[in-house]
């Protein structure tokens, strides 16, 4: 089910639940023609006397209404200090409102921004759209495997705003990104007995093909023929064979000579660590070791849904990393697509082996002007940045500036990490060209250095996003229920919109 949100200049027959955003310190509701005098007095009295609600950021207070009123409850929602207000931040408020709407089993919800008296219609449109985005993001629910799950009807939400058309257009873009986040979360939350390389392909094909995205799949025989040797090595221990999934969105006319851009995702659908097996506690979360690939799928869905005017290729490398008599081993020397030999020191450093063949294939075939890979690559990244930021390794300052701007617009936080020749040199082997594991320190940096060996032309803008710390929320947050986050979709959607679409 999809949350239904519409925007109207003057909603009629207001019933059930009313949401009123309020700036901090406001003692009256102001011009609010949608309220009758009695309800306006009730709201104003609350604003003046209720000490537990002052309009601080994300404060929420529910006012019960008289039984004869068509409105069952009025929810005051704090916007914080008007001088410091940013529309993006209101998504958190929208997310925190969602559990209250569920608790009260609301059928119809009306939210207003018209009473705020904002001078610029664009400001009001952004507020309404981002509040709606917060509600939608938090409405996500993964209950596919609950046998007693009741499919509760989602409320219909109407926003009363003087900037109806602007708000609707902005929310349409945001909502497309949310749909991309949702498919990424779905893939991440699927159990590994049901999500493996072949089934992953089937799920994505079913979801994306109707949007006009071209899909191509390589099975293990085609992968062998094309030279995906290091990728295939990772999947040797599993009965479920690897796959490569390529998605193409052609948003420009066929006559366009614009070079495409590319996004590459690590898709290890379950990572035991292989022969270098992981500890048992927490291993269940390794079903989400395909979070980078999920972000790429979500991005492609978002771009297609809003008909982005760009040519974009997404490629994800899919494999299961399992221990068995057929599995690759520490000490093995394997070959990559570009011909380099790699000494395997640890089979749990497998994600980079999947990525390098995809990176090589993309550079050989489509020759992108910009490419970004995403992977839950290293625990070292989490040690460095925790769970608040994603580490970004970027080879050109211009691309970093573009990513940083997209980060501030989307709320998905990035922190630039160093790319240095020393990290590349650290990954050289004494008995092969390279080794797949560096020393004890700076593991995220040496992993990026390993990948850099496979970037053929420094003139091509490239970024590696290590999203290990942004894989999962163990408990509910404002806009993310417990489970897969779907990180990366929104920041990359903004990156494309800002810099790579034909205006």
Distance CA 417, CA 156 (A): 44
Task: Tell me if residue 278 is catalytic.
Answer: yes
Distance CA 327, CA 290 (A): 19
Q: Which of 56, 121, 156, 278 is catalytic?
A: 278
Distance CA 448, CA 43 (A): 56
- Tallying the residues shown for the chain, one arrives at 503
The backbone torsions φ and ψ at residue 306, rounded to the nearest 5 degrees and listed phi first, read: -100, 10
Sheet holding 156-160, edge to edge: 4-8, 156-160, 108-112, 16-23, 71-80, 60-64
Domain ranges of the chain: 4-162, 177-499
The pLDDT score that the predictor gives to residue 196 is 99
Structure tokens at 475: 């408990």
Residues of the chain with pLDDT below 70 are: 149
Q: Which of 352, 435, 470, 490 is catalytic?
A: 352
Task: Tell me if residue 352 is catalytic.
Answer: yes
CATH code, residues 4-162: 3.40.220.10
CATH code, residues 177-499: 3.40.630.10
User: Which residues sit opposite 224 in a β-bridge?
Assistant: none
The pLDDT score that the predictor gives to residue 119 is 79
pTM surpassing 0.85? yes
């Amino acid at each position: 089910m999809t949350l239904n949100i519409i925007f109207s200049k003057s909603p009629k027959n207001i019933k059930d639940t009313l949401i009123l955003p309020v700036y901090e310190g406001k003692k009256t509701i102001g011009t609010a023609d949608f309220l009758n005098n009695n309800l306006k007095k009730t709201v104003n009295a609350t604003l003046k006397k209720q000490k537990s609600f002052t309009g601080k950021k994300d404060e929420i207070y529910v006012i019960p209404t008289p039984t004869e009123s068509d409105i069952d409850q009025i929810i005051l929602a704090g916007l914080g200090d008007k001088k410091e207000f940013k529309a993006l931040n209101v998504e958190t408020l929208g997310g925190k409102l969602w559990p209250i709407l569920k608790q009260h089993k609301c059928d119809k919800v009306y939210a207003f921004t018209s009473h705020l008296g904002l001078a610029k219609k664009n400001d009001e449109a952004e507020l309404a759209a981002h509040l709606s985005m917060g509600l939608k993001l938090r409405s996500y629910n993964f209950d596919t495997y609950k046998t007693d799950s009741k499919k509760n009807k989602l409320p219909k939400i109407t926003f009363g705003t003087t900037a109806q058309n602007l708000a609707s257009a902005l929310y349409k873009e945001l909502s497309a990104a949310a749909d991309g986040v949702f498919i990424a979360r779905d893939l991440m939350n699927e159990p590994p007995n049901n999500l493996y390389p072949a089934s992953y392909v089937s799920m994505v094909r079913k979801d994306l093909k109707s949007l006009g995205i071209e899909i191509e799949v390589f099975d293990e025989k085609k992968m062998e023929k094309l030279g995906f040797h290091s990728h295939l090595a990772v999947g040797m221990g599993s009965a479920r064979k690897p796959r490569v999934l390529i998605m193409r969105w052609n948003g420009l006319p066929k006559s366009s000579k614009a070079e495409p851009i590319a996004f590459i995702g690590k898709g290890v659908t379950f990572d035991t660590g292989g022969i270098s097996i992981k500890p048992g506690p927490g291993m269940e979360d390794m079903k989400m070791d395909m979070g980078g690939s999920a972000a790429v799928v979500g991005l492609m869905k978002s771009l297609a849904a809003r008909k982005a005017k760009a040519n974009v290729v997404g490629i994800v490398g899919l494999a299961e990393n399992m221990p068995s008599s057929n599995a690759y081993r520490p000490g093995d020397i394997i070959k990559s697509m570009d011909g380099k030999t790699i000494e395997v020191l640890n089979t749990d450093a497998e994600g980079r082996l999947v990525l390098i063949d995809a990176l090589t294939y993309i550079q050989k075939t489509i020759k992108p002007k910009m490419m970004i890979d995403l992977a839950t690559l290293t625990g070292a990244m989490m040690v460095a940045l925790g769970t608040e930021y994603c580490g970004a390794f970027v080879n050109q300052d211009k691309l970093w500036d573009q990513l940083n701007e997209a980060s501030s617009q989307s709320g998905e936080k990035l922190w630039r990490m160093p790319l240095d020749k020393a990290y590349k040199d650290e990954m050289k082997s004494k008995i092969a060209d390279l080794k797949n594991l560096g020393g004890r320190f700076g593991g995220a940096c040496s992993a990026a250095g390993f990948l850099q060996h496979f970037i053929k032309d420094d003139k091509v803008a490239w970024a590696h996003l290590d999203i290990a710390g942004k894989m999962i929320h163990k408990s509910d947050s404002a806009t993310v229920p417990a489970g897969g986050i779907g990180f990366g979709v929104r920041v990359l959607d903004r990156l494309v919109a800002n810099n790579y679409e034909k205006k």
